[in-house]
Structure 1
Amino acid sequence: MNDIAHQLKQGKLIAYPTETVWGIGCDAFCEKAVMDLLSIKNRPIDKGLIVLTDKVERISPFLQALPTDRQAEIVATWQHLHTTKQATTWLFPIPNGTKIPMWLTGSHDSLAIRVINHPAIAKLCASLVDDDNPYGFLVSTSCNPTALPPAHDLYTAMSYFGSGNVMFLDGKTLGFDKPSQIRCAVGGGVIRI
């Protein structure tokens, strides 16, 4: 994974399996890569992006600003996936003193974060950790051009983005049958089912 992480730090994009469908992303703190990603997906920057990381401890500054019971609820959604078969992304306010680039938040004052349980992608996130990316954030957006269905396998991912600056991490999804949901970390409300 270190070689892949090195290439991501140099601006490469990567298509990879997630819990339900395939995602496409890059090192969240590499502006050139994020701009390339938005371009090939034809996705407006103001929508913001989801980022993945490998463990809860990496995002403690985001959690610490919340009440203890809310923190426990959020962590539980990442730990009990075997019962829900649904991944959950949480929209966190940006903590004071935390530098998160606007190419990740878009026109919002929050950041969409998910602790991923896919073993290979968790390892990839861990290998991205350095001084520039202390959270191990990997951008995650569905692996498809806008208006086409998300890729469910390597073949489809390659048919969409097989030329150019995209690497492919072969593997299987976790087989979840529900798409990921997005919830508000402050109020707990569901934004996307």
Structure 2
Amino acid sequence: MSHSTSFITDSTVQAAQWLKEGQLLAYPTESVWGIGCDPYNQAAVQRILDIKQRPQAKGMIVITDSAARLTPLLVALNDEQRKQVIDSWQVGSDDNDRQNRQAHTWLLPIPDALSTAIPTWITGEHQTVAVRVIAHPTIRKLCQQMVSTHNPFGLLVSTSCNPSGQSPASTFDAAYAYFDKQIGYLQADTLHYTLPSQIRDAVTGLVIR
């Protein structure tokens, strides 16, 4: 299959540049492909909501590269809650058991001091933000590239790469078949986790998904 390569890259620097310009980007995650944008760019977030026919009220998952970067967001948790969240984000470098691993997204309460740090078009109708430290080394590098004065946590929107009602793309070709030249693509493999990511409430411990 031949593709025009002007919107396909294997460079996290190039991909971050596209995101900062307001473009949408498809990229591999732990299990499937995701589609994302700069979470502080309301027009870009709205494009994703439109593509996915998703109501803004539901909120969006965001990812970043390290738990340390999220320290200001974790202060609202007690020590036990904080440890559970951070431990779930530890990834062994020699981990061969990826098939049985699961990515963990947590609903974190937003401290009053950060009430304006996370846009309402990301939180939706919730008083929490759904966030994950991604295990994918390439996407961690991408998040590092996203750190700026307006995005201090290096956040990237992460929602499954598919139109409403379709299955999430598991490969680059599947993602491209869905969205063609509407968006950019960061080419790499997923981490081949077979379990979908889990979403839990960091305060109550309840599994949401």
Find the residue that maps to 1:188 and give its secondary structure: coil
Tell me the residue number matched to 1:144: 162
Q: Which runs of 4+ in 1 moved over 3 A?
A: 80-84
Partner of 2:108, secondary structure, is strand
SS at match of 2:111: coil
Measured in 2, the distance between the counterparts of 1:134 and 1:126 equals 10
Match for residue 109 of structure 2? Answer: 93
Q: Which amino acid aligns with 1:41?
A: K
Distance (Å, rounded) in 2 between the aligned partners of 1:43 and 1:77: 28
In the alignment, structure 1 residue 104 sits paired with structure 2 residue 122: yes
The number of aligned residues is 191
* Distance in 2 (alpha carbons) for counterparts of 1:5 and 1:80: 23
What is the aligned-residue RMSD (CA, Å)?
1.2
2:51–2:164 Cα contact (<8 Å) kept: no
Q: Offset at 1:24? A: 0.3
TM-score by length of 1: 0.95
Following the alignment from structure 2 to structure 1, what is the Cα–Cα distance between the partners of residues 41 and 30? 24
Letter in structure 1 aligned against 2:89 = W
- Is the counterpart of residue 74 in structure 1 residue 85 in structure 2? yes
1:53 and 2:64 are equivalent in the alignment: yes
Stretches of structure 2 that go unaligned for 5 or more consecutive residues are: 1-11
**Alpha-carbon distance between aligned partners in 2 of 1:102 and 1:146, rounded to the nearest angstrom:** 22
User: Which has more radius of gyration?
Assistant: 2
Calculate percent identity across the aligned residue pairs. 48
Deviation track 1:92-112 (CA, whole Å, cap 9, x = no partner) reads 111112121111011111100
* AA in 1 matched with 2:190: T
- Mean CA deviation greater in 80-89 or 22-31: 80-89
1:184 correspondence with 2:195: no
Give 1:173 shift: 0.6
2:191 maps to 174
Which residue of 38, 42, 67 maps to 2:49?
38
Q: Contact 2:76/2:110 (CA < 8 Å) preserved in 1?
A: no
Q: Which amino acid aligns with 2:207?
A: V
Structure 2: distance between partners of 1:63 and 1:109: 14
Cα distance in 2 for partners of 1:71, 1:86 equals 18
SS of aligned partner of 2:158: strand
Name the CA distance, whole Å, in 1 between partners of 2:14 and 2:186: 12
Residue type of the partner of 1:49?
A: M
Partners in 1 of 2:124 and 2:88 — Cα distance? Answer: 25
